[in-house]
A and B are shown apart, each in its own frame.
Chain A
Amino acid sequence: MNETLARKVPRPSLYLILWLGVVAVPPFVLSPHWLTVTNLALIAAIAAVALNLLVGDSGQVSLGQAAFLAIGAFTVVALTRDLGTPFPVAIAAAGAAGGVVGLLVGLPSLRFRALYIAVTTLALHFAVAQGVSIYQRTAIGADAALLPTAQLGPWELVDPTSWYVFLVVALAMTLVGVSNVKRSFIGRRWIAAADNRLAAAALGVPVARVRLEAFVFSSALVSLAGALGAYHTGVVTALTYHLGLAISYLAMIVVGGLGSVPGAVLGAFIIVFSRFVMDEVQRAAGFGGVAGYLSGLPPLLHGVIIVVFLLLAPRGIVIGIQEVIRRPKVRGEAAVA
């Protein structure tokens, strides 16, 4: 007992040092372009972790991912344009705005069947897309809104490296926070309500309320990521937030594994990087931006990924690979038993 404890306790810190080592490498080896892509993946990872909490753990499919990202981004636009709100306040306000919209949409949808949220978030998507483009036309009067440089006290986030450092910390905080919420009684109720609604209700879990909690929490976190993404790019335009974006996030969590926190991060990196690698390949092949039909390839890939993974590796790429490697062993054990 003591021996196992002694062996187990130092392991997390060992992992931590290992991770710190891995995380420190990219700024030194990647070109500014690819470091920026990494930053985009880090932001996507925050939003994907939040979405996975909703879909993977709470069993509710949201098609409103792009809408909540847009809500975060345009909250920041409105606050910085009209009030000159500083970066940390604007980010927090964006999260709050996402939470409020989540509450308003979730309240009517979640009383009945969990699947209704898929339809109402899809509806929300069209409503928000419409809303932000009207706002963009009337209030901004241009094709895009520019954001000021993100400033944390004396620290200005201007180059890819400073963004990288900031985003790594932000993602780490998200991961620790989300993992803790999942482990706490709050998150366990979310999972219980999704796994078996009746059993959870019998144990005193208020199922609809718990679903709503998960939806509001996830929406707020997604909007926060949307705000970060807006600051990172510096330019906000309504066209960014199309339905394909929402579905690419579903592809991320399906690839990584539904309900898995590290899986969502991995999925975000795979999907974001695959898009930019595909861009590179197209450019190398001489299709640079001319062949419009090639823009259909990433969404096609996302759709195929979602279907194929759900059929063949429903628990994601990591567990899928593990299963393939371990399969002979498991069969052997079964034969012995």
Chain B
Amino acid sequence: MRALVVILWSAGTYSLLALAIVLVYRTSRVLNFAQGELAIMLGYVCSTLLAIGLPLGVTVPAILLLSALWGLLVYAVIIRRVIAQPPFVGILITVGLSIALRALMVVFYEGRTARLDFGIVGGLTIAGERVSQVDLLSIVGTWGLVLLVSTMYMRSKIGMNMRAVAENPTLAAQRGANVDFVVGSAWVVAFAAAAASGIFYGTSSLLSTSAPVIGVKATIAALIGGLDSLRGVVLGSLIVAIAEYLTVRLLEVQYLDLIPVLILLLILVIRPWGLFGTAEQVERV
């Protein structure tokens, strides 16, 4: 039971972040390296707003709105202008954003850790074991949002347009999809997802300047699953979370960052397009 909670908790966070990474990658061919930094930064902002006495019911929607606006801004001002350039330019941009965000955390929060206290303290007894309510909230929240975003992607009109743009932007535009709007909304959703995962992360774990590593884990999960598949995101996140749990239990904590990397390299050797990705021509070296 304990194991299940731990695995579902981290896999939920990774899934939500990985989903955002995949959404943005599919529509705009930019691999967002700042996803983890965004999540933790927005978590920090949330802690500040709570600290100045804003009620919970105002803070959370405000953060979500703020992050959505921020996503729109980043897309409109930065990403739109480099989208036609070679892929490494987009990567460099998000890497630049990630280090700037990390630096802002140091400048504003001076390396202090923060915790989001929503006043939820109790625990529940499930199958004879105590499980804290905050952890349950995070699990339900992240997985619920994963479900929500993937339903949006698979069922709604905007989701269909996103998939069309991902497939072929020119043809999608020909058929009446507003590519700019569609890609922009993908960025908005991705930033809002970052905010949500940052908040959930902050409720049951510590926000710190080293916490953005969850973005790396999410990227690895997305790659393991295949960058273009939603099923892959969930499976990849579960694999990373299970591997981490086993590492802590069977090996030592110091290998925590190492094992997911090894799994990724292994998968890249066997199935370079990921577990559920579309098989493409692999080049021989």
Contacts and interface: CB of A to CB of B under 8 A. Distances in A.
Interface of A: 55, 59-61, 63, 105, 107-112, 114-116, 118-120, 122-124, 126-127, 130-131, 134, 194, 206-209, 212, 243-244, 247, 250-251, 254, 292-300, 302-307, 310-311, 314
Interface string B81-107: 110011111011101111111111111
A168 to B, nearest CB: 30
B285 A115 contact: no
Contacts of B261: 120, 123-124, 126-127
A206 B264 CA distance: 25
B255 interface: yes
15 contacts: A116-B223, A118-B91, A119-B223, A123-B264, A126-B213, A206-B283, A208-B285, A209-B284, A296-B102, A296-B105, A297-B107, A300-B100, A303-B99, A303-B100, A307-B96
- Top 3 nearest A-B pairs (CB, nearest first) are A303-B100, A306-B96, A296-B106
Contact of A120 (B33, B87, B257, B264): B264
Contacts of B99: 243-244, 247, 299-300, 302-303, 306
Interface of B: 31, 33, 78, 81-82, 85-89, 91-93, 95-108, 110-111, 213, 216, 219-220, 223, 254-255, 257-258, 260-261, 264-265, 268-269, 272-273, 280, 282-285
Contacts of B110: 292-293
Contact of A212 (B82, B264, B268, B285): B285
A283 B283 CA distance: 54
Contacts of B96: 247, 250-251, 254, 302-307, 310
B104 A119 contact: no
Nearest to B88: A61
Contacts of A298: 103
Contact of A107 (B220, B258, B285): B285
A320 to B, nearest CB: 15
Contacts of B92: 55, 61, 250, 254, 306, 310
* A interface: dominant SS: helix
Contact of A112 (B87, B88, B100, B268): B268
Contacts of A63: 33, 95
Given A123-B264, A310-B92, A194 B86 contact: yes
A118 B33 contact: yes
A328 to B, nearest CB: 23
Contact of A116 (B85, B102, B111, B268): B268
Contact of B102 (A114, A115, A244, A293): A244
Contacts of B93: 306-307, 310
Nearest to A63: B95
Contact of B216 (A61, A109, A122, A307): A122
A243 B81 CA distance: 27
Contacts of B111: 292-293
Given A292-B110, A304-B100, A250 B268 contact: no
Contacts of A123: 216, 220, 260-261, 264-265
A112 B272 CA distance: 6
